[in-house]
Amino acid sequence: MAAYILRRLLFLPLVAFVVTLVVFAVVWSMGPDVLLRAYMTGNASKSPNAEQRIIKKYGLDRPAVVMYFKWIGNTITGDMGYSLTASSSVSEAIISRFPASLELLVLALIPIVLVGSRLGIRAAMHPNGVADSVFGFFSIVGWATPDYIMALLILVGSFSAFGWLPIGNLSVALIKDWNSYTNSLIIDSILNLRFDILLSQLANLAQPVLTLFLVHSAYVFQISRATALDIKKRDFIRAARSRGVSERTIMLKHVRKNVLIPVVTVGGELFASLFAGLAFVETIFARPGIGRLLTNAAISVEVLTLSGCVLLIAAMMIIVNIVVDIIYSFLDPRILLWDHGAARV
């Protein structure tokens, strides 16, 4: 197990290098004049010799290789330029908004995996039955509906039925004795023992979470159903039936664990699609997250803010895929034997 994890971790530097190289190539292609204007902030432009200082600091007059390593060094130290959209540095804008996006991702991902896989197994218990037909219909509708269309439907529907409108994120600026530890209102409200704020924040997240759930749980449902139907044909399932084991016990005890393997396998792809959906969902529901920052930066063509957001998303994808590989090895130990054999060859 340790050797398997170590081999996966050894790929991290190579993947990180390729990602940063691609992002830098996009930034560098903008040209030194555009980058100079992007790096120039309101305060810096008023100081004497500001242009020469910025050119030297970011290596805008140096060859691409030198500029790349300067860019990497500045990025590691958090100096990624200034974001006019957020009226702060790019690093500060990302740090302050990332917890809000992470809240939404986690709260959406949990029901997507649990409910989607559960409904898939349930549908596979009685193929072509009522439950299978109903769940299958809604999964097709959900998977065929883009995130922004689903968000607009939920927005209009909730306003027409209940008069609800998205209010973005709660403001705690005027709350006395409030301590911000993580920039996550869910975690901070628990640490501050303000459960009224916790409930309000969860209510604010209901619409965007529902949007992501309805769209992306359809994929998990289809994967789980197809896998469950395939597993039901295996020899060990036939053996269990011959011993008199009930169909319900077979599905819940033998099938469910094996269904988790493909669900975990597509976890990286699911996480990527969720991150892509954030750009629309956070913008429509006025959520102050990375997706909304990315959308505003794209509209304003702020290449530095865009590159910072892309680097964050790429880093998250790398971490998620490593975690998925580790979880997969626990669920299916055969992968360790295959990896060991491949390493020996």
List where CATH 1.10.3720.10 sits in the chain: 96-344
The pairs formed by 126-130 with CB atoms below 8 angstroms and a separation of 24 or more are 127/229
Question: Would you say 89 and 83 are in contact if contact means Cβ atoms under 8 Å apart?
Answer: yes
Q: Is residue 343 pLDDT above 50, yes or no?
A: no
Q: Is residue 76 pLDDT above 80, yes or no?
A: yes
Question: Would you say 296 and 85 are in contact if contact means Cβ atoms under 8 Å apart?
Answer: yes
Question: Would you say 123 and 135 are in contact if contact means Cβ atoms under 8 Å apart?
Answer: yes
Q: Is residue 41 pLDDT above 50, yes or no?
A: yes
Share of the chain above pLDDT 70, in %: 90
- Please give the CATH architecture assigned to the domain spanning 96-344: Orthogonal Bundle (1.10)
Map 219-271 to HEC letters: HHHHHHHHHHHHHCCCHHHHHHHHCCCCHHHHHHHHHHHHHHHHHHHCHHHHH
Residue predicted with more confidence, 160 or 89: 89
**CA distances to 92, 125, 247, 340, 342 from 239, in Å:** 59, 17, 12, 31, 32
Share of the chain above pLDDT 90, in %: 19
Query: Which amino acid type is present at position 232?
Result: K
DSSP 8-state secondary structure symbol assigned to residue 165: -
pLDDT category of residue 174 using cuts at 50, 70 and 90: confident
**Cut 0.75: pTM above it:** yes
- Take residue 228 and report the two structure tokens written for it: 């469950």
Q: For residue 24, give the nearest of 54, 58, 55 by alpha carbon.
A: 58
DSSP string of 11-75, one letter each residue: THHHHHHHHHHHHHHHHHTT-HHHHHHHH--HHHHHSTTHHHHHHHHHTTTS-HHHHHHHHHHHH
pLDDT of residue 257: 77
pLDDT of 222-274, one tens digit each? 999 998 888 888 888 888 888 888 877 877 777 877 888 888 877 777 888 88
Radius of gyration of the chain (CA): 24
Please tell me the distance from the alpha carbon of residue 272 to that of residue 262, in angstroms, as a whole number. 16
